[in-house]
Chains A and B, each alone.
Chain A
Amino acid sequence: AQKITQTQPGMFVQEKEAVTLDCTYDTSDPSYGLFWYKQPSSGEMIFLIYQGSYDQQNATEGRYSLNFQKARKSANLVISASQLGDSAMYFCAMREALNTGGFKTIFGAGTRLFVKA
């Protein structure tokens, strides 16, 4: 069964520094996708970045990059130059294809990031 693990319930980072949020996954599907979503205190879910299992290069989106290590089954999110507005809950998620067609996406427990001024 597929599984997503985020082992850091909470993280602190100083403003303008980089931070890495950990995510490991487990799946038997060779064609899967990995995502990071941000949930600010207002509650909405915001998509940040996506990595396909066959993508050779690590995904980047502005200050966000996904450190994809396929053999280790890890998909860590790196936020460079942290800003106060980055304080939020961050969820790692994995999409797995279904035998019947379509897909389903499951989430990890999340990491709450606190950015200090």
Chain B
Amino acid sequence: NAGVTQTPKFQVLKTGQSMTLQCAQDMNHEYMSWYRQDPGMGLRLIHYSVGAGITDQGEVPNGYNVSRSTTEDFPLRLLSAAPSQTSVYFCASSSPGQGGTGANVLTFGAGSRLTVL
């Protein structure tokens, strides 16, 4: 199993450009989420989805858009990139019982490093 696959691993954008970070999982997980990691701030939840067709905002959703048309895919769209969106982005997925009853342990992708100039 590939687990959680994120593409691209690295990306450089200019301010105002748009792009999509791809996330795919092959574990049939219902739950998927996007985080951004910045120094000193840990991982902050951007958007999450509890199943196909259902998405919701996390702690820092502004400037990002998501959709969940299939169980496997959860792309993150940057509508108009800003330097403040320079970060490392992680996609994670889980399902009830992952890691034990009721645990919902997250399986992470390898991360995508985005630089906005």
B99: chain A residues within 8 A (beta carbon):
47, 50
A52 to B96 alpha-carbon distance, docked (Å): 13
A109 within 8 Å of B (CB atoms): yes
A27 to B41 alpha-carbon distance, docked (Å): 19
A100: chain B residues within 8 A (beta carbon):
50, 56
Closest A residue to B51 by beta carbon equals A102
On whether the beta carbons of B50 and A98 are closer than 8 Å, the reply is yes
On whether the beta carbons of B59 and A45 are closer than 8 Å, the reply is no
B53: chain A residues within 8 A (beta carbon):
none
On whether the beta carbons of B42 and A109 are closer than 8 Å, the reply is yes
A102 to B93 alpha-carbon distance, docked (Å): 12
What is the interface residue range for chain A against chain B? 20 to 34
Q: How many residues of chain B have a CB within 8 Å of chain A?
A: 31
Which residues in chain B, 19-49, are within 8 Å of chain A measured between CB atoms?
Answer: 30-31, 33, 35, 40-45, 48
B90 within 8 Å of A (CB atoms): yes
Which residues in chain B, 60-82, are within 8 Å of chain A measured between CB atoms?
Answer: none
Q: Which of B30, B43, B90, B108 has the most CB of A within 10 A?
A: B43
A44 to B51 alpha-carbon distance, docked (Å): 25
On whether the beta carbons of A50 and B41 are closer than 8 Å, the reply is no
A102: chain B residues within 8 A (beta carbon):
30-31, 50-51, 54
Minimum Cβ distance to chain B for residue A95 (Å): 5
Closest B residue to A42 by beta carbon equals B110
A64 within 8 Å of B (CB atoms): no
Q: Which of A4, A37, A93, A107 has the most CB of B within 10 A?
A: A107
A108 within 8 Å of B (CB atoms): yes
B35: chain A residues within 8 A (beta carbon):
107
A91 to B88 alpha-carbon distance, docked (Å): 15
A6 to B54 alpha-carbon distance, docked (Å): 31
Please, could you name 6 A-B residue pairs with CB atoms under 8 Å apart, sorted by A? A102-B31, A103-B31, A104-B45, A105-B94, A106-B45, A108-B42
